[in-house]
Amino acid sequence: MVMKRQDVLLEPSISGVPVDPEQGGRKMVEIGFGNGEFLTHLAGLNPDTMVYGLEISMTCVGKAVKRAVREDLGNVRIICGDARFLLRECFSDESLERIYMSFPCPWPKERHARRRVTHRGFSDVVASVLRIGGCFELATDEKWYADEVASILDGHPSLSLISFDVNKRREITTKYERKWLEQGKDIYLLVFEKLGNFTVDRIVDGRCDDMHVAVKSDELDMAVLKDEKLGISEGEDGAHWTLERIYSDSRDSWLIQAVTSDDGYEQKFYVRVVLRENGALVKVDGVCSPYLTPAVRRALDAVAGSIRRS
């Protein structure tokens, strides 16, 4: 089989989440794979395992997809986005053999602590998606960060720190690993094992292309769409939505710029309002494919509410 870009790059917001029931079999994840060297090497060493890479940088995603296609690896799948969200939403409980994270940005300043991948809720997600006996492996060049992660994850009732090594050689190295070794830095390698069952709530619920809100013609008041701005910004239960600029070049279709946030996970997309004979339909415009989260649902409801006569 000759692998193509579209075989490797998964867009679960289009194909639906979680991704794993479609695949079956053994699965591993690498978080923040950078140039994709470790990811593809891991896939080559484990041909019977589907290896998923989660990476926030589109440039890194592009490089890794090219590498997987060039090496014709049928067992690599890449998802672009924040791993803190993707790990929880794309993988079900007990679905992963192993999770790797090599040299994540440690964000040393306290005011940036919330940017750390391992911040708030990460240990719960790891404890949920690993199978019992499965492991999370972290490599870092920062001792304070190794200690912090050791204390957070080892403090979780379903996880246990089984090894904390300094300068232990791994079968596969990464670009950053070689860089820090050349500079004479110590490398800390931590392995945590999952010991007991644990679950977390997921928030993605269905697909955006199946979701719309209808407003009947006798309830309609489209006056609000005559302005350039909608100016709705609301929030509740960790879900926030802002609806701003309105674009239209016709009398029966409008686009509204939306930004939503679910517990800090931001999505930008457009809401489309289309006039029909019997009323109006409010839906996510097909050009972007956000995950269908509570904030996205509420943004659609808020647009529908604004064109519904009070």
Q: Which residue numbers belong to the known binding site for substrate?
A: 109, 141, 174-177
Q: Which is nearer to ligand SAM, 60 or 295 (CB)?
A: 60
Q: Which is nearer to ligand SAM, 36 or 254 (CB)?
A: 36
Q: Is 187 in the site for ligand SAM (CB under 6 A)?
A: no
DSSP secondary structure of 171-205:
SS--HHHHHHHHTT---EEEEEEE-S---------
Residue 61 or 302: the one with the smaller Cβ distance to ligand SAM is 61
- Window contacting ligand SAM (CB under 6 A); options: 26-34, 40-48, 195-203, 222-230: 26-34
> For residues 149-178, which are near ligand SAM according to CB under 6 A?
174-177
Residue 145 binding ligand SAM, by CB under 6 A: no
- Bridge partners of residue 308, in order along the sequence: 220
Q: Which is nearer to ligand SAM, 143 or 309 (CB)?
A: 143
Q: Does 54 bind ligand SAM (CB under 6 A)?
A: yes
Which residues neighbour 108 within 8 Å (Cβ) at sequence distance 6 or greater?
Answer: 142, 144, 145
* CB 54 to ligand SAM: min, Å: 5
Residues β-bridged to residue 98:
28, 135
Cα 293-94-124 angle, rounded to 5 deg: 60
Q: Name the token pair of 269.
A: 């997309």
Under DSSP, is residue 302 helix (H, G, I), strand (E, B) or coil? Answer: helix
Helix (H) or strand (E) holding 114: none
Binding mask 76-115 for ligand SAM (x = CB under 6 A): ------xxx-----------------xxxx----------
Q: Is 27 helix (H, G, I), strand (E, B) or coil?
A: strand
Q: Is residue 33 at the binding interface for ligand SAM, with CB under 6 A as the rule? A: yes
Going by C-beta distance under 8 Å and a sequence separation of 6 or more, which residues neighbour residue 16? 207
| Interface with ligand SAM (CB under 6 A), residue from 12, 16, 18, 32 | 32
Residue nearer to ligand SAM on the CB measure, 89 or 177: 177
Residue 223 contacts ligand SAM per CB under 6 A: no
Dihedral angle computed from the Cα positions of residues 63, 65, 66 and 70, in that order, rounded to the nearest 10 degrees: 140
Contact residues for ligand SAM, defined by CB under 6 A:
31-34, 54-57, 60, 82-84, 102-105, 117, 174-177
